[in-house]
A and B are shown apart, each in its own frame.
Chain A
Amino acid sequence: MNSYLLRRLWQSVLVLFGVSVVVFGILHLTGDPAALLLPPDATAEDIARFRTAMGFDDPWVVQYLRFLKGALRGDFGESLRHGEPAMALVLERLPATFQLAGAALLLALCLAIPAGIISAVRRNTAADYVSTVGALLGQAMPTFWLGIMLILVFSVRLNWLPSSGRGGLEHLILPAVTLGLFTTARITRLTRSGMLEVLGQDYIRTARAKGLSEQPLVWKHALKNASIPIVTIVGIELGTLLGGSVITETIFAWPGVGRLSVQAIFNRDYPVVQAAVFLLASTFVIVNFLVDLVYTYLDPRIRLR
């Protein structure tokens, strides 16, 4: 553990603290959490009694500290709809979301890195144009529309793949493609520009001059340096994937955290919303810290800072 990583660890803790403030704030946006948590037909006396019982009359700092104390133990209160602890409900759905996001990321990396490399190595050929245009379209295509079109073609018309639910591999294909396309497009463009930059550098020319053949040159020497921005974006794309899962899961009735959150928002089940937002944001912070660990391995210059 060196000073750079220690500093990053401290920063991550600060960010998690900030995340907790925002999650706490969601419920207090309108100034009256009691009215939000109770059904719309609750009387004024009910609301007043509930407010006192829940301690919503206390100063904000006191309320926040109480919230933080609970949050640190994973206690976000009970789901208003299911009567179970909110965090337990969210954790139960977490594996499904991780499976979907993981499959989407894997798909994106498997498609995007080769596509980006080929695009860069064979610049201005047909292969480059196909991958560049594909990436442009992929970045412009809204997730929910892509999902619906895939259902239209592969479920409704061809009847090849199921359009909803979680089960075997065949259930995973359409949601993973839907969720992963934007990330695929992003990483393809990044790999292409990163490779083009690296391939133009002196050490590559030196390696070529020494007679190194093209294959190891591209895949070993160039890719290692070009992979630094890719590793960074993988961490950031995780946020896109977790956010995108909200929509993808809704379209494909995938039983994950995203769908649970949307349902919870419509049911005004705010403890569940808070637990889900907190858990996904924390996941993002922790994964990005881990990405930084990988980063220092790939780029020793960072360790010196």
Chain B
Amino acid sequence: MTPPSIASEAIAVAPARAAGEREWVMLLRRLIRRRTALFGLAVVAVAVLTAVLAPLVSPFDPLEQDIGQRLREPGWADGQGRVHPLGTDHLGRDILARIIFGSRVALVVGLAAVSISGVLGLAIGLAAGYFGGRVDDFLMRVADVQLAFPFILLAIAVIGVLGPSLENIIIVIGVSSWVVYARVVRGEVLSIREREFVQAAIALGSRNWRIIVRHVLPNTFTPWLVVATLDMARVIVIESALSFLGLGVQPPTPTWGGMLADGRVYLSTAWWLATFPGLAILFTVLGINLFGDGLRDTLDPRLKL
């Protein structure tokens, strides 16, 4: 480590960090003031709590079958006086319990896939934006190739080959969702690169990786976070679409998409089978989108997503 680079770091980072803490409190306050964002945050919180505490909040075992109680309508009470608030499915399983446990698959796939694509996209965006030139050209063409494929079609083709499992679904969604992160991060890096503190660090002879990690990376965090939040909603829809097509996490594990596929068969006799899992997806995605929109409007209103 050469003395000049330490000096440059002290100049650039120290004030930013102090301001950072105050900014977070301000941010939270501003977010809460936006009613729609607060609603989104509440929905997300409920979804996360439900997934974590599923065994505690669920009224029934999601796998417990009772053929005598099949296709019962919402509010049905069985012989022992146990009420099925959202009814039962074609195997007599409680729908509410299955929705509650289904949130686990949705959120686990969402978080894991977003982590993979987020890190991948961040690295690619940093490289493309910072090094520019041929590296940038090459990476952006790879991004175009990725975007050329209809996402669901590519995902089901690959999962069809590899076989459907929780890990494969996470990997396939994660590895093929990096483009939006890379593009946003690249755009940020292009402008950060030209700022004085980066130019100063370059002039002082800091090494590339150090400039990237210490000066560029921290400044890409907010747009990255907004993208990650909104992408989470998209991943949850994709996961349920895969489950709907039968290429998601396999039965008997309850998934929202799988429940919908089951319900489709009984559409003319039992509407509740397909209706409620869909509402669960709708509310979760809506909540995440509203929270993400609020986050964007507060943190980075220029960001167009």
Interface, chain A (partner B; CB < 8 A): 11, 14-15, 18-19, 21-22, 26-27, 29-30, 36, 136-137, 139-145, 148-149, 151-152, 156, 193, 229, 236, 239-240, 242-247, 250-251, 258, 261-262, 265-266, 268, 270, 273, 276-277, 280-282, 284-285
Contact = CB atoms under 8 A, between A and B. Distances in A.
Interface string B139-178: 0011011011111111011101110000000000000000
Contacts of B246: 266
Contacts of A26: 157-158, 161
B153 A277 contact: yes
A145 B240 CA distance: 10
B13 to A, nearest CB: 35
B109 interface: no
Contacts of A193: 304
Given A140-B233, A148-B260, A151-B267, A273 B150 contact: no
- Secondary structure class of chain A's binding surface, majority of residues: helix
Query: For chain B, which range describes its interface: under 10, 10 to 19, 20 to 34, or 35 or more residues?
Result: 35 or more
A201 B114 CA distance: 37
B159 to A, nearest CB: 8
A266 B290 contact: no
B244 A22 contact: no
21 contacts: A18-B148, A22-B149, A26-B158, A27-B161, A30-B162, A140-B233, A145-B260, A156-B267, A193-B304, A239-B148, A239-B151, A242-B153, A243-B151, A243-B152, A246-B245, A247-B244, A258-B153, A266-B246, A277-B149, A280-B150, A285-B148
A145 B161 contact: no
A212 to B, nearest CB: 28
Contact of A30 (B142, B148, B152, B161): B161
A156 B268 contact: yes
A15 B148 contact: yes
A152 B278 contact: no
Given A26-B158, A29-B161, A140-B289, A19 B241 contact: no
A148 B141 contact: no
B216 to A, nearest CB: 26
Interface string B68-96: 00000000000000000000000000000
Nearest to B154: A277
A266 B304 CA distance: 38
Nearest to B290: A136
Contact of B274 (A14, A152, A242, A268): A152
Interface in B248-275: 257, 260, 263-264, 267-268, 271, 274-275
Given A27-B161, A29-B161, A262-B156, A149 B278 contact: yes
A148 B153 contact: no
Nearest to A284: B148
